Amino acid sequence: MTCPYLNYQQSDEEHEFENDRPYCTVADSFVSPMQADICNDRHNFDHTSDCEKFPDDEALPDDGALDGEDAPPDDGRVHADPSE
């Protein structure tokens, strides 16, 4: 999946190109071809975890931990794994 903050455009306030180039709307700047691989999740990259500009509050936790309705209650007790 492509990062929702990636645009393709020919210019910004400081640059103008003949063709569309990858542009990050978080950083408000054009991105390098290598960074665009991350933005587009090419070569097994994941923009949510491999891009340092991607907003942290939208990234999945590195440990894959569940939160929200799928997470066990955070009540201080150890909950048994029903698969065991």
Phi, psi of 18 (to 5 degrees): -80, -25
Nearer to ligand SF4, 21 or 47 (CB): 47
Phi, psi of 70 (to 5 degrees): -80, -15
Q: Which residues bind ligand SF4 (CB under 6 A)?
A: 3, 5-6, 24, 26-27, 31, 35, 38-39, 47, 51, 53-54
| In the complex, least distance from residue 2 CB atom to ligand SF4, rounded to whole angstroms | 8
Among the listed residues 61, 54, 64, the one whose alpha carbon sits nearest the alpha carbon of residue 4: 54
Nearer to ligand SF4, 3 or 21 (CB): 3
